[in-house]
Amino acid sequence: MALMKGSPATKRAARAPAGAPPSKRAAPGPPAGRSARSGPPAKYHDKRSAPVAAPAGPKTSKEKRQEVKDKKLKLKKNYSIVVDSTARWEELRQKSTPSQRRLELVSQLLKGMKGRLPELALSHTTSRVVQACVKHGSAKDRAAILAELKPKLYEVSCSGYGRFVACKLISTATPEQVPELLRALRGRIPRLARHPAATHVVDALWDRASTAQRAEMAAEFYGREFRVLGLIAEGGSEAGTGGEGLAAPAPLTLAGLLQSSEAGARVRIFRELSTRLLPIAEKKLVDSAIVHRLLHEFLTLAPAAMVVEAIAPLSSEALLHMAHTHEGAGAACAVAAYGSAKDRKKVLRVLKGHVPALARDEWGHALLLTLLRVTDDTSLLNKSVVADYQKELDDFVTHKAAVRILLDLLRPSCARYVPSALESLVVPPPKRLSASAPPADEGSEAALDTSNLPLALEELSEDDSEDEDGLGGSAARPGGVLGASKKDALLRRREILAGGLGAALERVLSARADELLRLPEAGAVVVEACGGGAGGALALALGEEKVEGLQRAVVGALKGEGSQEESGVEGPARPALLEDYWASRTLRRVLLLWGGEEGEEAARLQEGFVERVWEEAVRPRCAQLVKGHAAKVVAALAQAAGGEVRGEIRAELQKCLGKKQSVDAWMATFAQHKKEAR
């Protein structure tokens, strides 16, 4: 076939030089596998003439899930175990599953997960499966899980998911298994306590530990000094471990160890304790009870220079996480008592909005008592603490814990209202900070104060107090008593009551006098308020007219003859207040507390109240009231009255008693109550 003009072959032939051999390139022809008559190539094929294939539809959700599962199965070596265990776990956790079936499922799960429990306990999904096995398994199953996890218990505890498995193991462990858990974590307790996840494991282990085991856990924070000097028994076994054939000695506390140690050893112990506790405080990981105990010991026993360093990180939201336990409340009170004015302001701002919960707490209200005793900035105190407390005054006046705040404002440091165990938390032992010596030198010379005798901080000398302006804060303080307050205690109480709390209290007591006097918690508040409070604080805050108005309301309630109980059904008549069990005892006790150096205002109001009660409530029914519960009140009136009123009471009593019994002999039967009241 002749070459067409302009074709590629013609152009190549024209460019080839003369005499050159012919090109080896094959002539164009039909492609392999297709004849010359089969038509144009596929890419030029007319698609309209060929049948159109149906496009693949979108994958269903089931197909997508299966595809993801297949990919995971190729990537994760434990995926088949996870799938199988999750399916069984779904049946295991159902409430309708019988107990016997649960035991079978746990046995099957443990058989499939054997040897891989430490890995699976770290997973989000399988950690729940392991927890369910611990919860629903038999004692043998739990022992098997513990045996496999024990070598890796530290790693499991530090995992965000594994710590739930560790806590479940600890909570279900038998008393014989607790020492095994302690041995698995021995030497790592301080490190676990400052880990965000593992601190919960330490707290769970502390709850299950005995007193000796707790001492062993706390000893790890004291350093080697405590173990060498305090925890080694005579026979060579450690205290709390209970070696065979040797009785474990009584565990030593930090105070006991410090008493028997030299000054250099004490400093090293406190330095170790500070090194381990300060990071925990800075991270705000203060929820566990072991940290509460250690902080309380450190703040009350350590030298003042070391305490100053710990106050700054604790003057924050950390106090809210500590104040609900006994030792945590002691640590919180120490922070408030030893802190500077700047530290206390930080604490007051943190407490705003949380005061009602703290006031109701068995131990949390101790922190409020300390702040009300040591804070000189009463303006901020009224805004942040007293205002929140005042909003729920109607409820607090009858609450066993919250009412102590009112009683302490009216009569501070009274053992009748604030027990000695609580007082020791509210007023920690004083500490003196040397202005010349550096912290390390002062620590080496610090003497241990183990007496822990309470001392009212407001009675400390003004010369030893810190700068109340708050300049410098915790980092720079002059020498003197740590945390001492400048303001007079009576002036502080007067300013607190004058900020609105006193007026609100007077309104509540006047409106509910009859009801409150019959309650053991609130009755003392009513009578103390009628006397103007210790030193006349309430009278100075409100004025004597307001207090006298409250006295008239209370005497009006005392004049009542009793009434039918306010209920929908018939019941016994409610006795008169003077014959009521709680009201009579409250009146007698408070009347005997009055007297002494109360101040002119308080003495005048107390004498006026005694005279008003005698003239209006007791004298008209004296012959009736010398018997029963009211006799205690009459005898207390005769002892508390002064001058002419006392003579009138004794004369009237002699008439009621007759000639067979003298007034002195009759009053002698109540003499023991005076000693009890004080």
The pLDDT assigned to 454 comes to: 34
pLDDT in tens, 510-537: 999 999 999 988 999 998 898 888 888 9
Q: Quick one: pLDDT band at residue 451, thresholds 50, 70, 90?
A: very low
Closest C-alpha to 450, from 428, 483, 480: 428
Bridge partners (DSSP) listed for residue 564: 573
Q: Specify the amino acid at residue 470.
A: G
State how far the Cα of 625 lies from the Cα of 405, in Å rounded to an integer.
33
pLDDT beyond 80 at 166: yes
State how far the Cα of 221 lies from the Cα of 74, in Å rounded to an integer.
47
Cβ(377)–Cβ(344) below 8 Å? yes
pLDDT beyond 60 at 52: no
What's the average model confidence in pLDDT over 486-515? Answer: 94
> What's the pTM?
0.78
What's the average model confidence in pLDDT over 166-172? Answer: 96
Collapsed DSSP state (helix, strand, coil) of residue 481 = strand
State how far the Cα of 521 lies from the Cα of 506, in Å rounded to an integer.
17
First-to-last alpha carbon distance for the chain, in angstroms, is: 137
Cβ(565)–Cβ(650) below 8 Å? no
Question: What tokens does 548 get?
Answer: 């006298």
What's the average model confidence in pLDDT over 214-232? Answer: 73
State how far the Cα of 330 lies from the Cα of 333, in Å rounded to an integer.
5
State how far the Cα of 643 lies from the Cα of 632, in Å rounded to an integer.
21
Q: Quick one: pLDDT band at residue 259, thresholds 50, 70, 90?
A: confident
What's the average model confidence in pLDDT over 40-63? Answer: 64
Residue spans of beta strands (DSSP E) within 323-416 = none
**Residue found under tokens 């009241």:** 677
The pLDDT assigned to 346 comes to: 94
What is the C-alpha radius of gyration for the chain, rounded to an integer number of angstroms?
41
The pLDDT assigned to 213 comes to: 92
Residues in the chain, overall count: 678
More confident residue, 618 or 356: 356
The pLDDT assigned to 376 comes to: 94
pLDDT in tens, 196-219: 999 999 999 999 999 989 988 998
State how far the Cα of 564 lies from the Cα of 577, in Å rounded to an integer.
13
Least confident of 141-150, 233-242, 430-439, 473-482: 233-242
Q: Which residues have C-beta within 8 Å of that of residue 654, sequence separation ≥ 6?
A: 662, 663
pLDDT beyond 60 at 19: no
For the stretch 275-287, what's the b/e string if a residue is b when 16 or more beta carbons lie within 10 angstroms of its beta carbon?
A: ebbbebbeeebbb
- Mean of pLDDT over the chain: 81
pLDDT beyond 80 at 670: no
What's the average model confidence in pLDDT over 484-512? Answer: 93
Least confident of 153-157, 233-237, 250-254: 233-237
State how far the Cα of 313 lies from the Cα of 325, in Å rounded to an integer.
19
The pLDDT assigned to 676 comes to: 45
pLDDT beyond 80 at 232: no
Collapsed DSSP state (helix, strand, coil) of residue 80 = helix
For residue 240, CA distances in Å to 165, 207, 243, 383, 499 come to 26, 15, 9, 49, 53
Q: Quick one: pLDDT band at residue 656, thresholds 50, 70, 90?
A: confident
Burial class (CB in 10 A: 0-12, 13-18, 19+), 115: exposed
pLDDT in tens, 565-604: 443 445 556 788 888 889 988 888 888 877 655 677 778 8
The pLDDT assigned to 74 comes to: 66
